[in-house]
Structure 1
Amino acid sequence: MTLDIGVLGYRFMGKAHSNAMARLPMFFPDAPEINREVLVGRDEEALAEAADRLGFSRTTTDPSAAIEDVDAFYNLGPNFVHPEYSIEALESGVPVFCEKPLAPTLDEAEEMTEAAREAGVPNGCAFNYRFVPAIRYAKNLIEGGELGEIYHVRGRYLQDWLVDPEAPWAWRLDEELAGSGALGDLGAHTIDLARFLVGDVAGEISEISGQLRTFTDERPVEDENGTREVTVDDAYLATAEFESGAVGSFEATRNANGRKNDHTIEIEGSKGSIEFSLERLNELEYKREGSRGFETVLVTDGDDPYMDHWWPPGHVIGWEHTFVHENYEFLSAVAEGGEFEPSFEDGLATQRVLAAIQESDASGERVSLD
């Protein structure tokens, strides 16, 4: 059986997932056979060029028409288009893979997740960092008890593309279109990684307090005169408590001068600790029980997660490979009628934490997630 795939969006995430789909038959021979059937966008000229470059058979500017003709629908558009077309596809019985955060608001995320429950078809939320081999290696250590009781979870995601106050306005800076700023764009990844890594050991985040900050209130509009207001956060900080009593601290900013894409998570327990940085994604810093300090583990051996599909030990992989792993798992679930994680349920769980941070910032009080 060949799966016909429809993809909404052809820029950053559209390229990443299209590249992953093209790599699947080369490196994952047991992956389902797929056809990049239809690419969806608004600009017909740009869409036609993108479809030719990314390997899609045809294009349409009507997402509903695409949904009717595919076996799986990828909603990779801006946040504000996630609810409508994801729900439409699910109600048609079409499996959906949706970019993160799941929706601009918690209410919309709940509607999307309820539609996924009722549809009973595979659904996924795009937290690709779960598919880094070093992260899987770390999860195995944690769930195997190698870190002992979890005490601390620290996560940060730092970028610098908005340091310049003259950097142009974009949809990610509008609350109506994006829902939030660094909080949803970057913080969603960190919150999901924390849940993925320690959720089975420390439980869910039960309480959280947060602060949001916008450093530049308006920005110039590209190719136009004048400026537009920035209505989302440039940065957030949060402190949290997990059900087990473990504590967490999380932050993200798009104003960290000199940081391009620094996503770091550190977990400390009674027996050991781990630290992971996306900028060194083939490595895991591991302090094992009885040792005096950290050792650097190069996670590229053939028996490491996913690595048997790639190169000999020591031949590193990159950011784009996480999408290959992600697409392999999602499309296999579609072909087999199975389940995929992270699902819409995981996207909703993360969205609840994001909403609690926003609520805490507005009220100045700690928020319970019970």
Structure 2
Amino acid sequence: MKNLLLLGTGTIAGMHLAEFGALHDCRIVACADSLPGRADAFAEKNGLLNAFESLDDAIRWGDFDAAINATPDGVHRITTLQLIDANKPVFCEKPLAPSFGDAIEMTDAAEKAGLVNMVNFTYRNSPALQMARQMVIGGAIGTLRHVEAAYRQSWLVSKAWGDWRTEPGWLWRLSRAHGSNGVLGDVGVHILDFACYGANDEVASLRADLVTFPKAEGDRVGDYALDANDSFSMTARLKGGALATILATRYATGHANDLSLALHGTQGAVKVETDGRSSQLFVSSGKGVDAHRWRRKNVPPTRRNARAFADALISGVNGEPSFRRAAEMQRIIDAAIVSAESDRTVVLA
């Protein structure tokens, strides 16, 4: 049995409890949170016997095999490096870090220490995405020519999640001074991984546009300057030659949390749709190509990220998505920011 420390007890922590709680050979035995009283309250609510008000205290205790890093984005680097220094494998929330420089430092440290390292790109859990990727790899749609990927949310319009105007928990996502890279850094990292993984290809060059819309008087709510991007769009050339169009927005009225991916090839196409809970795969192939018809394809369950991390801990062989993969996605994000600010195409080395 592998024992885990859950670092950070915010909203995402409940998802980790559910995911790892479903495993028979890996369990969360302790939590830590720097906000006074928060770890104790979380532990009592969820039946954990050990709670700590600092990572230092948890490491001194030390009775855990690995850690889940569910802290805010801006402290992923310092906390992950501290865990690596303590020789603890890490399963980190996305994005791995706010910049490529920080992400690659974390990657190099984990690899040098020989520690299992993974990042929770949750949409890898989509069976439809996994099947689409296998069809691309197997040549089922021929040579890939065009990729369309979109991540649509509407929480800047809808109050289904609460009201960002009155609930400070949302405001950090809208403020660069509070560690946000906007929708690009928050969910853009998901759709970039979704697109590149599904296409089994990588970005060679890109041109991006980032938009921050006026949302409040003076573009400010209290201490929060609302200056982080709300929508982004990108055109990219993939290394294999295909053209990709990728977007993410918080102003997709009518959409709660929807991802879509279309992969168009010379002999067919596949489309993936998911809301994070369920996913669907549609295929146009054979005679359907000439008739412009799509059919829904049944897909088998896939191994989820929590299971992959547990398997990596047990085998000692690193799983995917790894820190290095997450660092590469951050490199694309950094390039997109440069492209938008300079109004030019950026070539990735």
TM over 0.5: yes
Deviations 1:228-265 (CA, angstroms, capped at 9, x unpaired): 21131111111000111100011111122221101111
Residues 83 and 109 in structure 1, CA contact (< 8 A), matched pair in contact too: yes
Shift of 1:212: 0.7
Matched with 1:16 is: 15
**1:283 partnered with 2:280:** yes
**1:65 partnered with 2:57:** yes
Matched with 2:296 is: 296
Residues 167 and 220 in structure 1, CA contact (< 8 A), matched pair in contact too: no
Residues 177 and 225 in structure 2, CA contact (< 8 A), matched pair in contact too: no
Shift of 1:227: 5.4
Aligned pairs for 1:54-133 (under 5 A) are: 54-68=46-60, 69=62, 70-133=64-127
- From the superposition, tell whether residues 236 and 188 of structure 1 become closer, same or farther in structure 2 (CA, over 3 Å): same
| Match of residue 148, structure 2, among 154, 157, 172 | 154
Secondary structure at the counterpart of residue 207 of structure 1 = strand
Shift of 1:35: 3.7
- Over the matched positions of the two proteins, sequence identity in percent amounts to 29
Shift of 1:179: 4.0
Matched with 1:51 is: 43
2:147 & 2:340 partners in 1: Cα distance?
A: 21
- From the superposition, tell whether residues 273 and 51 of structure 1 become closer, same or farther in structure 2 (CA, over 3 Å): same
Aligned pairs for 1:214-225 (under 5 A) are: 214-216=212-214
Matched with 1:351 is: 330
Residues 136 and 305 in structure 1, CA contact (< 8 A), matched pair in contact too: no
Q: CA RMSD in A?
A: 1.9
1:159 & 1:121 partners in 2: Cα distance?
A: 35
1:67 & 1:186 partners in 2: Cα distance?
A: 31
1:230 & 1:195 partners in 2: Cα distance?
A: 30
Instruction: Choose 114-123 or 205-214, whichever is displaced more.
Output: 114-123
Residues 217 and 229 in structure 1, CA contact (< 8 A), matched pair in contact too: no
Task: Give the counterpart letter for 2:227 in structure 1.
Answer: T
**1:42 partnered with 2:34:** yes
Shift of 1:206: 0.4
Shift of 1:126: 1.0
2:227 & 2:337 partners in 1: Cα distance?
A: 13
1:273 & 1:54 partners in 2: Cα distance?
A: 45
Residues 78 and 177 in structure 1, CA contact (< 8 A), matched pair in contact too: no
Task: Give the counterpart letter for 2:7 in structure 1.
Answer: L
Matched with 1:313 is: none
Task: Give the counterpart letter for 1:57 in structure 2.
Answer: L
Structure 1, unpaired ranges of 5+? 26-32, 307-323
Matched pairs, number: 334
Matched with 2:263 is: 267
Task: Give the counterpart letter for 1:367 in structure 2.
Answer: V
Matched with 1:209 is: 207
Secondary structure at the counterpart of residue 24 of structure 1 = coil
Aligned pairs for 1:179-218 (under 5 A) are: 179-199=180-200, 203-216=201-214
1:195 & 1:52 partners in 2: Cα distance?
A: 41
Q: TM-score, normalized by length of structure 1?
A: 0.85
